[in-house]
């Protein structure tokens, strides 16, 4: 069985090999691979090739995906699973790409039992056992220095969903303790909430103030937070936002929340601050699905 699978892998890599110029162009634009050495980048290229062979990338709303766009999405999607393997993205198969933000309709029930319908613009969304949905405009707008990366965010949700809900606790590896994970993430979540409240109080005092007529000071105050305030929506969003920062702005995350950074090093088996060097090599039996 493993021999057949290895043969299929080699066959796919040979048949679907990425164009060298296309690959180098993608590498030059992808800042989240700075910690990877030459050997790791070679494995990332193979993983990206297999991802593009196994997944369907579908453009909608009249949008057209170029080969460069496909590779750009795939390489960012594969960085988090470089040491986890593509099986972490099974069994779903489709990535849907909109040209810009897309609108979804949701219903919620308020405290009085009244049902409300809302239309919400999104830059990305992940469905359990379904597609990943992305906005190309938001992919392109990502600044490697701001810790915001919609591809990393949505694919982190996919890893979180491996054991069911996106609850902020993906299936942890053998040797990782659920108690340590909860302690690190709960403390960071509470701290970020406190920081957000402080910023909101400060922003409240600036409303109508001529010094901040365009909201610039308020924007800068929120931008200075260790993570996007959206992280405090719930535990699942905190994990996804922390994962973005882990790969994009690792120093910022490690300085603010060192225990969260340590847990993500153990989970992703990568250390962006120390260069490439997984703590433990991947094996198919190393994931503890019982947590």
Nearest to 155 by CA among 124, 176, 189, 184: 124
Other CB atoms closer than 10 Å to residue 10's CB: what's the count?
11
Residues 6+ apart with CB under 8 A from 206: 212, 217, 218
Proportion of the chain above pLDDT 90, given as a percent? 66
- The answer, yes or no, to whether residue 237 has pLDDT greater than 60, is yes
Lowest-confidence region among 187-196, 201-210, 245-254: 201-210
- The answer, yes or no, to whether residue 42 has pLDDT greater than 80, is yes
* Structure-token match 């409300």, residue found: 116
Rounded CA separation 53/276 (Å): 26
pLDDT mean over 224-246: 97
Lowest-confidence region among 74-88, 159-173, 272-286: 272-286
Q: What is the pLDDT of residue 213?
A: 46
- The answer, yes or no, to whether residue 49 has pLDDT greater than 80, is yes
Sign of CA dihedral 225, 230, 231, 232: positive
Nearest to 229 by CA among 268, 198, 258, 250: 198
Q: What is the pLDDT of residue 15?
A: 82
Domain boundaries, the chain: 2-268
Q: What is the pLDDT of residue 287?
A: 33
Class of domain 2-268: mainly alpha
- Helix axis angle, 258-268 to 235-248, nearest 10°: 80
- The answer, yes or no, to whether residue 48 has pLDDT greater than 90, is yes
Band (pLDDT 50/70/90 cuts) for residue 284 is very low
User: Which of the pair, 32 or 287, is modelled with greater confidence?
Assistant: 32
- The answer, yes or no, to whether residue 263 has pLDDT greater than 50, is yes
- The answer, yes or no, to whether residue 3 has pLDDT greater than 70, is no
Band (pLDDT 50/70/90 cuts) for residue 154 is very high
Band (pLDDT 50/70/90 cuts) for residue 209 is low
User: Which of the pair, 183 or 218, is modelled with greater confidence?
Assistant: 183
Q: What is the pLDDT of residue 206?
A: 55
Candidate ranges 103-112, 199-208, 239-248, 271-280; pick with highest mean pLDDT:
239-248
96-131 pLDDT, tens digit each: 999 999 988 766 677 777 776 777 888 999 999 899
Nearest to 50 by CA among 83, 11, 20: 11
User: Which of the pair, 74 or 14, is modelled with greater confidence?
Assistant: 74
Proportion of the chain above pLDDT 70, given as a percent? 87
Q: What is the pLDDT of residue 107?
A: 66
- The answer, yes or no, to whether residue 251 has pLDDT greater than 60, is yes
What mean pLDDT is reported for the chain?
Answer: 87
């Amino acid at each position: 069985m493993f021999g057949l699978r290895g043969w299929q892998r080699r066959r796919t890599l040979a048949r679907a090999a990425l164009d060298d110029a296309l690959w180098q162009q993608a590498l030059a634009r992808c800042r989240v691979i700075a910690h990877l050495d030459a050997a790791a980048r070679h494995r990332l290229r193979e993983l990206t090739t297999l991802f593009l062979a196994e997944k369907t990338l579908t453009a909608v709303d009249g949008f057209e995906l170029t080969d460069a766009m496909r590779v750009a999405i795939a390489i960012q999607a594969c960085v988090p699973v470089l040491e986890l393997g593509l099986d972490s993205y099974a069994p779903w198969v489709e990535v849907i790409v909109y040209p810009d933000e897309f609108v979804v309709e949701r219903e919620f029930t308020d405290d009085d039992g009244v049902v409300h319908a809302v239309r919400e613009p999104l830059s990305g969304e992940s469905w359990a056992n379904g597609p990943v949905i992305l906005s190309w405009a938001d992919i392109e707008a990502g600044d490697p220095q701001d810790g915001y990366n919609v591809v990393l965010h949505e694919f982190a949700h996919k890893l979180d969903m491996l054991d069911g809900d996106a609850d902020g606790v993906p299936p942890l590896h053998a040797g990782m303790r659920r108690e340590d994970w909860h302690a690190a993430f709960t403390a960071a979540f509470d701290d970020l909430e406190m920081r957000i409240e402080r910023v909101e109080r400060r922003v409240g005092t600036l409303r109508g103030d001529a010094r901040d007529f365009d909201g610039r000071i308020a924007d800068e105050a929120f931008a200075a937070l260790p993570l996007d305030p959206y992280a405090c929506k719930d535990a699942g969003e905190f994990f996804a936002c922390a994962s973005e920062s882990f790969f994009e702005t690792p120093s910022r995350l490690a300085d603010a929340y060192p225990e969260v950074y340590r847990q993500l090093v153990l989970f992703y088996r990568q250390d962006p601050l120390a260069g490439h060097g997984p703590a433990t090599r991947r094996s198919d039996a190393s994931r503890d699905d019982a947590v």
